[in-house]
Every structure is written in structure tokens, then in C-alpha cells.
Amino acid sequence: MAYQKPRILQSNRDMFWSLIPLALMCVLLAGVASQCQFSPGGPTTGPIPSFDLESALRYDSQDLDFPVRQPVIPEGWTPNSGSRSVVTGDNGGETSTVGFITPPGRYIQFTQSSANEMSLVSYVAGGLRTATGVEDVAGHNWVVYGGEGVEPIWIADFEGVRLLLTGSADEESFATLATAVAEAPVLG
């Protein structure tokens, strides 16, 4: 009969030595699966995903029941994402969203929707927000929803369609995209 310590007499040292093989196996599996890497200088910027802005907005213009605009984006901006969704509720509606990366590496999103202003802002912000000001850009008043520690949201009505801008980009990028949106033709 082999001698075995009672369970109550096992120490933290015994537990430590039994966890070492488990930790080594986890590191080995993560390395084999290429899910981690050692980066002593911190995280690095990866490649920006490519997104066909023109095709996505043309498709949305044929399928959605509101006029869709295609802004001409400034040189250096990269379209990187797009989606369609539905804002639910009494004043909801469909949305078409595209995102861009600006030259400093900041994200800005452009959403077009048939939903009313408060429903759309609540949907994008994940809750209620209060208007904090108005920006007049290219002859259109953009209501600004902001606050401490949140990304700003700019929203305006263009002939019955709500246009919304949000993201981590600076105010100059918001104004640039607002101008491009105001000058953008409606796709038909």
C-alpha cells in the first residue's frame, strides 16, 4: 500500500507544482494555434480591412426605402466596414452604415436611416443621450450629442432621411465628412 497524504495535508507548494504542467500545455496550445505572440514594444497596428464602399451603397440604394447618399471621401481615408440593421420600435427603421479610417488612424462611422432622431441616437449610443450643441456645416444643422467619456454623435435631417456621424475621429474629420455628405449625390 502506497503512502498518500490526506487531502487536508496537501500544501500550496503541491498545488503550484501540479499547475506548472497545465500552464505549459496552455502556452503550447496557444502557440500552435497562432493565437498569441510576444510583442515587447506593445501592440502594433494591423492592416486595415478592405471594403467596397461604392458597391455596398449602390446595393443599399436599390433595397432600402429611403434615398441613400454616397459621399466622396477625402484622399487618405480608407473605407473599412459596412452593415445594415433595423432600429426597432414605433419610430424605428432600416439603417445603412459604413465606416472609415482617417489618416491618423481614427475611426468614423456614417449611418443613414429612416428611423427618427431619438430612436437612431439611442440605437447607436446604446442608450439615451442629451443634445449638447449644434454644428452648422455646409448649410445643414447637425445636432451634437456628446458628453464626458463618450464618442460624439452628429445627426441631421436631409429630406426625410436621418444622417448620423460618430466615432473616435476628431472634430475636423466630423466636419469633413459632414461636408462630403452634404455634397454627396443621392444614388438612384
In this prediction the pTM is 0.78
What is the set of domains in the chain, with CATH numbers?
53-187 (3.30.200.100)
Write the DSSP assignment of 34-84 as a string of letters: T-----TT-----PPPP--HHHHHHHHHHHSSS-EE---PPTT-EEEEEEE
Q: Which of 94, 67, 57 is nearest to 158 (CA)?
A: 67
Question: Tens place of pLDDT for every residue, the chain, 188 residues?
Answer: 567 766 666 777 777 777 888 898 888 887 777 766 777 888 777 888 889 999 999 999 999 999 999 999 999 999 999 999 999 888 889 999 999 999 999 999 999 999 999 999 999 998 888 999 999 999 999 999 988 889 999 999 998 899 999 999 999 999 999 999 999 999 86
